[in-house]
Amino acid sequence: MRVLLASKALVVGAHHDKLRALGANPDLDLLAVSPDRWIEQGRAQIAERPPPRGYEIVYTPLALNGRYHLFWYRRLRQVMRHFRPDVLHIDEEPYNLATAIACRDAVRYGVRPVFFAWQNLYRRYPPPFRWLERYVLARADGIVGSEAAGEVLRRKGHTRRIEVIPQFGVDPELFAPRPQPHDPDRFVVGYAGRLVEAKGVDVLIRAVGSIGGDVTLRLAGTGAAEPDLRGMASAMPGVVFEGALPSADMPEFYKDLDVFVLPTVGRRGWTEQFGRAAVEAMACGVPTVVSSTGELPQVVGQAGVVTPPADSHALADALQRLRDDPARRESLAEAGRAHVLGRYTTQAVADATADFYRRIAGGDA
C-alpha cells in the first residue's frame, strides 16, 4: 500500500515521529510532503528536516504561504503522478484550498483522498470556503481529532468514512519523567504555545502573581500578545519569556516544571481542539492544569485538574493547592503519564492511522 501524506506540521521535526511509526509497517510505503518553510504572522519557520527513517520526504515551496485557508502545495500533483499512491492524506481542514486541490487531483488519478479535521464548532463558511468544503466532503474520507469534530461533519452532510484519531501522539521514550526529584524549595509553573489572547496567558500571569511566595513562571512561545503580556509581567521578576523553543528542546522544558498550565479561553468561532502541549507535559510526568474549554477536559480526563476559563482566582487556587501538596502533585504526575501511555502515544496514533489507510485502500465500508 502506497500512501502520500502532505502536512505543513512536518516543518516541526518532532512531528516526524508519527512518520517513523507509520513507516515501520511492512505493508506501507510512505512518502511525505512538507513545506520547506511555514510563515506564521510574518515570521518564517524553516523546516527542521530530521533524517527520515522508514519513509521518504519531499520538501516543497507553498503558494500563498502563511495564508491558512488559501495556501496550496505547488508540487503535490507532480509528486502524486510520480509516486502513484493508493491513498493521499492531505492534513488540512476540508474547507481549505490546499485540501480541495489535493482532492481534485487525487480523484483525477484514481487515488483515495483523506482529509483531517479539527473543527469542533459548527460553522457555515462564506464562499468560496463553503464551496470548497462541499466539494471535499462529497469525495473524501475523513480523520477527525475528536467526536465533536466528527459530529460537525455529519451535520454538514458528510456520509463517507469518519475515524476519530488524534493527529499527534508523543514518543514516551523522549517525553519521559525526570529521573531526579525536583528541588522542594522552588515552584515552577510553565506554559507552552502561542502568546495570543485566545490562549489565556494573561489569566495565568494574574493567577501566578496572586499566589505569592517564591514561584517562577516559564512561558515558551511567541505571538501577537507578547508585548502586552510582558507589560503585565514587568513587575514580576519570576516570569521568564523563553521565546519559541526548538521542538527537540521541549522535553527538557517540561521536565523542569512542577506544574504545567494550558489556560485557553477561546474566541468567537474557535475553541481548543486538542491540546498537544498538555499531552506532552503529562507524558513527562508533570501535573497538568487546563481550562474547561473545547476538548481539553476530554483530553486530560481524570488525570489533570480542570478550572473554569478566564477565572484567574480559580486557577490561582488550583496552583496554590498543588504547591502546598507534593503528594497530590506526585499522584497527578503518575496518573497523567499512565493516561498518555494508554491513549496518546505516537505508536497508538500510527497504528490506528495505518489501519484506516488499509480500509480506505481496500475499499471496505
In this predicted structure, what is the pLDDT of residue 41?
75
CB contact at 8 A, 132 and 140: no
The strand pairing partners of 38, in sequence order, are: 45
Distance CA 156, CA 303 (A): 33
The three cell numbers of residue 327 are 503528594
Q: Write down the pLDDT at residue 358.
A: 96
- Pick the closest to residue 281 from 309, 253, 248 (CA basis): 253
The rounded distance, in Å, linking the Cα atoms of 62 and 40 is: 13
CA-to-CA separations, 20 to 32, 55, 142, 175, 199, in angstroms, rounded: 11, 7, 22, 16, 31
**CA angle 23–10–158, rounded 5-degree value:** 85
Q: What is the number of residues in the chain?
A: 365
The DSSP-derived string for 77-115 is: HHHHHHH--SEEEE-S-TTSHHHHHHHHHHHHTT-EEEE
Between CA 304 and CA 84 the distance in angstroms is: 45
Q: Which amino acid is at 48?
A: E
In the block, which residue shows the cell 508519527? 18
C-alpha cell at 62: 507553498
Q: What is the rounded CA–CA span in Å between residue 263 and residue 200? A: 5
Note whether 240 and 216 are within 8 A (CB).
Answer: yes
Hey, which bits of the chain come out as E strands?
2-6, 29-35, 37-40, 43-46, 56-60, 62-63, 72-73, 87-90, 112-117, 141-144, 162-164, 188-192, 216-220, 239-243, 259-262, 288-291, 305-307
The ranges of the chain with pLDDT < 70 are 364-365
Dump the DSSP string for 325-364: -HHHHHHHHHHHHHHHHHH-BHHHHHHHHHHHHHHHHHT-
Taking only the tens place, the pLDDT of each residue in 254-294 is 999 999 999 999 888 888 888 999 999 999 999 999 999 98
In the prediction, which pLDDT does 364 show?
Answer: 59
Q: What stretches of 212-246 show up as alpha helix (H) in DSSP?
A: 226-232
Task: Give which of 356, 355, 1, 4 is closest to 161, Cα–Cα.
Answer: 356
Enumerate domains of the chain plus CATH numbers.
Answer: 2-168+346-362 (3.40.50.2000), 188-343 (3.40.50.2000)
pLDDT at 365: 47
Identify the residue whose cell numbers are 480523484: 107
C-alpha cell at 175: 517525553
For residue 7, give the DSSP letter.
-
pTM of the model: 0.82
What are 155's three cell numbers?
451535520
Asked if 351 and 20 touch (Cβ cutoff 8 Å), the reply is: no
